Amino acid sequence: MTAMTKTFTMVCLACALPATGLGVAQSDETAVLPSKAEIRAMHGAPPTIQWAVERVAKELAAVYKINATQNLEARTPFDDSQRDRAQVFLGVWGRSSVLGQWCREQGISGVSRKAGSNAYRVTVLRDPLRVVIVGSDDVGAWYGACAWLDSLKSESAAIVRTPMGEMSGVPALEIRMGRNFDLSPDQEVDSVNSQIPFLDWYARWRLNFLQYGDVPDARLAAEAHKRGIKTILSLNARSVCASDEKSLADMAAQFERFLKDGGDGAAGTWDDVFGERIQGHCERCREKFGPNGITQEIIIILERLVDVAAKYPGKKYIIWCPPHYTRNRYQELSDEEFFGKVSASEKVRTVTYMWHTQCGDEPTSFLDRYGMTRRVWWYNGMYPLAEAVARRRPEPVKSRIKQQLCNKDFARFDAVGFIEDVIKTNDVREIYPPGDAKWKALRLVSERFQGAFGSSDWRSSSYYTGQSGLYAWSPKRFDQDEADRRLFRALFGIGSQGPARRWSDLENEIEVRLANKLLEGGSLSDSEQREVAQQMERWHSERVAVEAIVARGRSLAEQRLLEPVLRDMRKAEETVAGVVRDLSTTDGTANKAGGG
């Protein structure tokens, strides 16, 4: 375990599992999966269970080359005549009397609805190998399937082991979000079918809230719901004039269309509204609402959205980001004044959920005092280390570093827990990983928030999407090494964890080194050039190793998810090589003009 990834104590498969755990078996005994498997569900299974059966079969076939078939017409949980293959059954506890009777006869515990929404229990039996996955609901059964798939260990491509015994769990956070879908033309997501790979990947890591920038096809909401995902409409709330009834009505009508098509809520942001905007949307708003009128604007807009949502059945979600998403951002509008006024609205305080980026003791205790307890942690830390070096640095060196090194399309795989306080150093270990105080706050997110949102660039973030889901599932028990094992295996294939992690660590080390050299305004000396060349050679070799593993064709990720990551890995090397050339000279002498 490297210094870059040593963050949490490894969660052992032999440990007992609390209700909010990652999914840990109660026995250290394992069994080898046979080369054949049948994934089963009872006759008449609902769409979510049918889809879950399909996805389990696909993952076993894609990653492990197991001959996995599907049986959606089962009349009993298992077929005792098929002893040459593993059988995996998915169902909902209490829905089938046949399943209940079989489990009682085998001494298998179920999972009741009292365990909570989306709860599951997995039981693995041997001779013959049988896997019983039951949920408190359909989505819970899928989450149990994910837990079992995550628990598989593969010493080699030919041998796959499953832990025996039981594991159970329930999500620690109600709201688990990744970055918005990118529906731009260059992503070619112009139809519902073209977006299925994204939905499947999102659901695989048990993320359950997804934002859309426009009202999507109604079929998309149905596909998302089948995967346990709620759809949220991202409104341009800051552009709505709260003093203009037509502007408010247009916003409400857009939201209503979304809800009628099966949507589940709306999101709006008022982050970074500096200057005159903090005083109000427009001159009319400033006149109507007085000084710092943005507070009243936000209340009016959120209450209108709450009223619209109340007209539709089922729980709807209004999620918003305040200007004060961190402490003491605005001199002209204090945190006390802003939250004092906003919290006076019962609808805002008791119905909506608020994004906030600080999860420590002081910021959350401050919000508690105003009753702003319905919170979603916005993890805004997935940035290149080189960008962190550039932060708070004076211009023009800040812009130079950002321009040359901080392209967010780079396919890095930074771990959870990035810190903002950066030390000027060539040793990445002094910057990363974060210290104990930060980790304490990260572990307590599920006690202080109702959700977590991992913010990153969707186009290159297949890894970050998965990491956001694994972290949000159980912040207290998140383990970076275990997350890497699961994610890299699914993304690139078995055996990719080592080279993929080393590639990302080397990228950070090289970029931080070059960023600091840009800050100094000098050039690389002869010895520095040789050292960087050796680092880049190792860096390149790790990417080649990853691509060799991908070439085996054992990735769960479809090509449109995988290829952008590989492309951006190559792009990162090309871009950094250009910076190295700029900081070097042909004769090794210092560049008088400075680097960049």
Cα four-point dihedral sign 517, 523, 525, 527: positive
Judge whether 7 lies within some domain: no
Average pLDDT score over residue span 149-164: 89
Most confident option among 80-84, 175-179, 353-357, 430-434: 353-357
Judge whether 14 lies within some domain: no
pTM: 0.88
Q: Are the beta carbons of 207 and 454 closer than 8 angstroms? A: no
Helix (H, G, I), strand (E, B) or coil at 520: helix
The 10s digit of each residue's pLDDT in 389-415 is 665 566 666 666 666 665 444 455 665
| Residue 272 and residue 253 in one domain | yes
Range of the domain at 280: 175-381+433-473
| Residue 239 and residue 149 in one domain | no
| Residue 256 and residue 141 in one domain | no
- Both tokens of 332, joined, read 């002209």
Question: ∠ CA 490-357-242 to the nearest 5 degrees?
Answer: 115
| pLDDT at residue 229 in the model | 97
Residue 571 binned pLDDT confidence (cut-offs 50, 70, 90): confident
| Residue 377 and residue 245 in one domain | yes
| pLDDT at residue 156 in the model | 72
- Mean per-residue pLDDT over the chain, rounded: 84
The 10s digit of each residue's pLDDT in 512-523 is 788 778 877 778
Give me the sheet containing 130-135, strands edge to edge.
67-74, 36-42, 86-92, 130-135, 120-125, 165-169
We report the CATH number of the domain holding residue 371 as 3.20.20.80
| Residue 457 and residue 357 in one domain | yes
- For every residue of 394-434, DSSP letters joined together read PTTHHHHHHHHH--TTS---PPS---S-----S-GGGTSS-
Judge whether 448 lies within some domain: yes
Judge whether 18 lies within some domain: no
| Residue 245 and residue 299 in one domain | yes
Helix (H, G, I), strand (E, B) or coil at 322: coil
Torsion of CA 501, 506, 512, 514, to 10 degrees: -150
Q: Are the beta carbons of 55 and 64 closer than 8 angstroms? A: no
User: What 8-state DSSP symbol labels residue 414?
Assistant: P
We report the CATH number of the domain holding residue 79 as 3.30.379.10
Residue 492 binned pLDDT confidence (cut-offs 50, 70, 90): very high
| pLDDT at residue 8 in the model | 23
| Residue 210 and residue 353 in one domain | yes
Question: ∠ CA 109-110-115 to the nearest 5 degrees?
Answer: 120
Q: Are the beta carbons of 464 and 454 closer than 8 angstroms? A: yes
Judge whether 13 lies within some domain: no
The 10s digit of each residue's pLDDT in 187-224 is 444 578 888 999 999 999 999 999 887 767 788 899 99
Residue 249 binned pLDDT confidence (cut-offs 50, 70, 90): very high
Helical ranges in 186-261 per DSSP H? 192-204, 218-226, 245-260
Q: Is 495 left (phi over 0), alpha (psi -120 to 50) or beta?
A: left
- For every residue of 132-166, DSSP letters joined together read EEEESSHHHHHHHHHHHHHH-EEEETTEEEEE-EE
User: What 8-state DSSP symbol labels residue 277?
Assistant: G
| Residue 95 and residue 197 in one domain | no
| Residue 399 and residue 466 in one domain | no
CA R_g for the chain: 26
Judge whether 544 lies within some domain: yes
Q: Greater confidence, 180 or 186? A: 180
| Residue 287 and residue 149 in one domain | no
Rounded to a whole number of angstroms, the distance between the first and last alpha carbons of the chain is 35
Count of domains for the chain: 3
Domain boundary among 133, 153, 169: 169
Question: Per-residue b/e over 485-522, b at no fewer than 16 CB within 10 Å?
Answer: bbbbbbbbbbbbbebbbbbbbbbbbbbbbbbebbbeee
Judge whether 3 lies within some domain: no
| pLDDT at residue 421 in the model | 36
| Residue 335 and residue 193 in one domain | yes
CA–CA distance, 191 with 198 (Å, rounded to integer): 12
| Residue 195 and residue 342 in one domain | yes
CA–CA distance, 406 with 426 (Å, rounded to integer): 17
Most confident option among 382-386, 406-410, 588-592: 382-386
What's CA 354's distance to the chain center, in Å? 18
Cβ count within 10 A of residue 395: 7
- Partners of residue 165 on adjacent β-strands: 124
Domain boundary among 153, 169, 185: 169
- Run of H or E residues at 452: strand 451-454
Q: Are the beta carbons of 146 and 48 closer than 8 angstroms? A: no
Judge whether 478 lies within some domain: no
